[in-house]
Homo-oligomer: A and B are copies of this chain.
Amino acid sequence: MSIPVFYEPNPIASPFLSEEESIHAHRVLRLKTGDPIFILNGKGQKFEAKVDQSTSKKTSFHHLKEIESSEMPPYAIHLWIAPTKQMERMEWMVEKCAEFGIQSIGFFHSRYSERKEIKTQRLEKIVISALKQSKNLFLPSIYPIISFKDLLKQISPKEQEQRLFAYISEPPSLSLNKSLQLNQSYHILIGPEGDFSKEESEILLSNDWTPFGLGKAILRTETAGLAATHAIHLLHEN
């Protein structure tokens, strides 16, 4: 059997798995005292440890040893997206973005949004599961939904940051490989299926957000989110 992997944000300070992870360790995997486990803290470190005590409420571990660590990558992707009507589409996208690697995914509602509310609890589970599966060492943050207006207030221009938004226009906006400066922190804004309103697009342009296109095909919202994330990684490949 391969060694099971768990997520615990502070394994040094607190040598216990969360209740949810403990249930999995105890009931599903039936781990026993002395069994080896891997622990990811989602902050760039992977540890090896041994099960100390395992009950369905609490699994403790000891002999914690860092076995892998990674620096933050020189660029960061923050995706801000207007959620689709079908939650399933967002769940799928969040999983894929977490597999590719992403700093954070946040949500906003705008004029033509089909969904103004979103529960993030399930998405938080999805990113943890993708963390374990993908061997990435950084857990993406998931942010609750805010309004388009508040989002714009929150993301003011900063050095080493680039703010970009997917813009369907005629003629088409430049693609990401033309508009991206390498090794920045990117805020990527993807509008709802009904797109940004004319007014919203103008606000973004006049606030110096850079428009970008995603090719000739019309992509669904969730496809645009994962395509932008994937494109940024590819552009940083050497």
CB distance from A62 to the nearest CB of B (A): 28
Roughly how many angstroms separate A217 CA and B101 CA in the complex, as a whole number?
A: 8
* Contacts A99-B218, A133-B218 supplied; 15 other A-B pairs, CB < 8 Å: A96-B223, A99-B217, A100-B217, A100-B219, A133-B220, A134-B219, A135-B216, A135-B218, A136-B217, A177-B237, A215-B237, A226-B226, A227-B230, A230-B230, A231-B234
- In the complex, which residues 193-238 of chain A have their Cβ closer than 8 Å to any Cβ of chain B? 215-220, 223, 226-227, 230-231, 233-234, 237
Q: List B contacts of A38 (CB < 8 A).
A: none
Q: List B contacts of A175 (CB < 8 A).
A: 237
Q: Does A92 contact B (CB under 8 A)?
A: yes
Q: List B contacts of A101 (CB < 8 A).
A: 217
Q: Which residue of B lies closest to A70 (CB)?
A: B216
Q: List B contacts of A237 (CB < 8 A).
A: 175, 177, 215
Q: Which residue of B lies closest to A134 (CB)?
A: B217
Q: List B contacts of A231 (CB < 8 A).
A: 230, 234
Interface string of A129-158 (1 = CB under 8 A from B): 000011110000000000000000000000
